[in-house]
A and B are shown apart, each in its own frame.
Chain A
Amino acid sequence: MKLKSLSHHFLKVAALALATATATAQDKLPTAQVNTTGLAVTDDTVTVGQLHSATGTMAISETGSIQAEQLAIDQINAAGGVLGRQIKVIKEDGASDWPTFAEKAKKLLVSDKVGTVFGCWTSASRKAVLPVFEKENGMLYYPTFYEGLEQSKNVIYTGQEATQQIIAGLDWIAKEKKAKTFYLIGSDYIWPRTSMKIARKHIENVLKGTVVGEEFYALGSTSFGSLINKIKLKKPDVIYAAVVGGSNVSFYKQLAAAGINASKQTLLTISVTEDEVLGIGGENLAGFYSAMKYFQSLDNPNNVEFVKAFKAKYGKDSVIGDVTQAGYLGPWLWKAAVEKAKSFDIDKIVEASPGLELTTAPEGYVKLHPNHHLWSKLRIGQWQKDGQAKVLYESELIEPDPFPKGYQ
């Protein structure tokens, strides 16, 4: 017995020694070899950029991503960095203004020569910086779930594209609630519009249900009275919502005030994460469903660890939403790509990226598709009064398909 544990111990030590040996071998990769395109890489450091809105209307949403990316970078640095180099971060503020995003992206790539950028949140900001990244051949890790219809050599999308979030969720609610009639509600911009287009096609063609109403409200709009009357009139089996930002708070509060709550009405949303619940209030949402790939309450060892580390750094009251987790994946995916490529060169990272796997992701296992999106699961969470979600359903891994045939 003792001998066995000793030999076990020996094996562990040997494995550790081997691991250290490979690590030091990697340390020794000379800068000239790992960086042939003049990026900001020295023998001890590599500089990366972080480009989010720290000010302006989007700051409240983007803070989670900023924090999660910083946490991942700190953890990577504590574990020895990337190819033996510590990550240094240059933070830039996009100020919720799209031309500013483009300006700062260019600054990071052209003057700072950063190895990669973690950033952007809204589609508008991504669209503004995309030509800059393509022209200067930079790398962007983009964390938000979004409408798809895009695929770039220079972007890794760590959030879900629309079909990954919509189809499995609709299937679940149709089966679970025997839903036949749907009322689609969204804010008026490209993500809800595209999402509702996909949802409508799926409802009509696959689920053989009916869409009894489809409405879009200007961003920031706060009065939903006429909508609530229509809902009362049409009595849909499911309200399917993609309302964002400040409108979210008014929407759910007014629903609650009009007596439309989970005991009478099924509501599935693709735009509410733990971050939004903070503003809306758990009591206004209790019983409604969200379709996301990640919830803070996920019960797996990776996530327990992640939540613990996040709260230790940002306070015990901080919450973690879907996008925050996707932001956390960015630095880890970049590290994995760099180490696989044994180089910081953008072209080599791009080449190494397809097929990358992360087994340590809080959402569970993720794999990078050649189309630069992640395979991910869809989960249905039911909101509780305390602002956390109870996970009721988890799909298989879903292949990302940013240009879905038959849904265009």
Chain B
Amino acid sequence: MPLLFRTLFKTRGEALAFGGFLLLLLVVLPLALPVFRLNLVGKYLTFGFVAIGLVLLWGRCGILSLGQGVFFGLGGYCMAMFLKLEASDPVTTAIQSTPGIPDFMDWNQITKLPMYWEPFKSLPFTIFAIFVVPAVIAFIIGWALFRRRVGGVYFAIITQSIALIFSLGIDGNQGYTGGRNGITDLRTLCGWDIRSENAQYILYFLCVVLLFTVALGAKYIINTRLGRVLVAIRDREDRVRFSGYDVAMIRAFIFAFAAMLSGIGGALFVLQVGFMSPSIVGIIPSIEMVIFTAVGGRLSVLGAILGCLIVNFGKTTFSEAYPDLWLYLMGGTFIAVVMFFPNGLAGLLEKIPTSKGKYAALFARFKKTTPVVTTKTTPISDEN
């Protein structure tokens, strides 16, 4: 156990930060916030799954994906399909031309449940699909691209276009996907009303616990040999290849792993928000997820979760307080973070010196120009 502990946390401060954060989410927030606000925090945290994936993928392995929304969406749609089938029993849908199928299918003159919807009547299959579908699709995409040594900005562009294709595909097949409206009006999970206060508390705690499990898993990867290989690939890909590692396979694996995490986030999003829509899978949300990670710190697992919370909290508060101005405020914040703290908030916290003598180092940071995007020639700090 102490060995595992030492693998997960390199310093005592790190472990303390981790524990403190967990305490905040599990005890302080549930006590301090009304259930409606807590539900919002739960929604923000679902993006944390994507952000942790991006820490591994982008921060550690240097692969910038602008299509994580796709995998978030795949997980979310799997969950939504199950919930929608449960909500569309023949009694509640008696008014339709074909009772017993989801309402949007009926509106599109579909009279029979499509074959690939059938397995989503089973919860175990749905949970299996949430984990496997995003991972398999990501692995296929990743393997095809990385084997041809597509990387850097080209990979970002390709993933971005995949996000566009995916959201257009959903839009264009509304009889099967709910189209632009998405899959809405989800009420129960195996008879359990997910909209009740009680359920929202339980789902929140489930979300926090899963998120921290995933966070620990990510830290484990980072601090073991795989994590070091990832950094090596980021910094000097050719040397790793010459040392006999299968770079494409490792990249495809980490891309699939990040996709699986995103899928879990998507499923939890649907459970807490009560619907799924193509507006959270396209290019804009995919880029937003990268922003969350960048603001929090793309090298740090905890920082990424913090980024999701802070950015979304800012979005909610600014837009409630200044409905006409909030976008400018958000934009200003992003620019400030990227200009002054290229390693995000976590990078900033880390730099807070332990002794007074180190203040000089802090100021020195502002003088030198640190590149924002990871390049192969300038390795960036690895502490997290």
A residues touching B (Cβ–Cβ < 8 Å)? 54-55, 91-93, 95, 97-100, 102-104, 106-107, 110-111, 122-124, 127-128, 130-132, 135, 147, 149, 188-190, 193-194, 197, 218-219, 403, 408
Contact = CB atoms under 8 A, between A and B. Distances in A.
A100 B318 CA distance: 13
A190 B174 contact: yes
30 contacts: A92-B319, A92-B323, A97-B279, A98-B275, A99-B277, A102-B273, A107-B320, A110-B34, A111-B34, A123-B180, A123-B181, A124-B180, A124-B182, A127-B182, A127-B184, A128-B184, A130-B185, A131-B184, A131-B195, A131-B274, A131-B275, A135-B195, A149-B103, A188-B171, A188-B174, A190-B104, A190-B179, A194-B107, A197-B109, A218-B171
B174 to A, nearest CB: 6
Contact of A102 (B34, B274, B319): B274
Contacts of A135: 195
Contact of B277 (A95, A98, A106, A193): A98
A130 B326 CA distance: 25
Contacts of B326: 55, 93
B97 interface: yes
B174 A193 contact: yes
Interface in B71-117: 95, 97, 103-104, 107-109
Interface in B314-340: 316, 319-320, 323-324, 326-327
B174 A189 contact: yes
Contacts of A149: 103, 107
B320 to A, nearest CB: 7
B36 interface: yes
Contacts of B320: 92, 107
Nearest to B273: A99
B36 A124 contact: no
A111 B275 CA distance: 21
Among A93, A123, A132, chain B packs the most CB atoms within 10 A around the CB of: A93
Interface string B160-190: 0000000010011010000111101111000
B43 interface: yes
B354 to A, nearest CB: 40
A190 B180 contact: yes
Given A103-B43, A124-B181, A131-B187, A189 B171 contact: yes
Contact of A124 (B107, B168, B273, B277): B277
A190 B319 contact: no
Given A98-B277, A189-B179, A103 B109 contact: no
Contacts of A130: 184-185
B195 A91 contact: no
A127 B279 contact: no
Contacts of B185: 127, 130-131
A262 B172 CA distance: 31
B279 A99 contact: yes
A178 B199 CA distance: 60
Among A102, A123, A127, A147, chain B packs the most CB atoms within 10 A around the CB of: A127
A68 to B, nearest CB: 17
B107 A219 contact: no
B323 A193 contact: no
B40 interface: yes
A117 to B, nearest CB: 14
Contacts of A128: 181-182, 184, 275, 277
Contacts of A122: 180
A197 B185 CA distance: 24
Nearest to A130: B185
B280 interface: yes
A188 B275 contact: no
Given A124-B277, A131-B195, A218-B172, A91 B36 contact: no
A190 B105 CA distance: 11
A219 B171 contact: yes
Contacts of A92: 319-320, 323
A110 B43 CA distance: 17
A193 B324 contact: no
Nearest to B269: A99
A403 B96 CA distance: 9
Nearest to B98: A408
A126 to B, nearest CB: 9
A53 to B, nearest CB: 10
A188 B174 CA distance: 9
The 8 closest A-B pairs by CB, nearest first: A93-B323, A110-B36, A127-B184, A189-B180, A124-B181, A127-B181, A98-B277, A91-B323
A245 to B, nearest CB: 11
B218 to A, nearest CB: 25
Nearest to B103: A149
A127 B273 CA distance: 13
Contacts of A197: 109
Given A130-B185, A189-B174, A54 B324 contact: yes
A153 to B, nearest CB: 14
B107 A190 contact: yes
Contacts of A131: 184-187, 195, 274-275
A190 to B, nearest CB: 6
A92 B316 CA distance: 10
B109 to A, nearest CB: 7
A55 B280 CA distance: 17
Interface in B19-40: 34, 36-37, 39-40
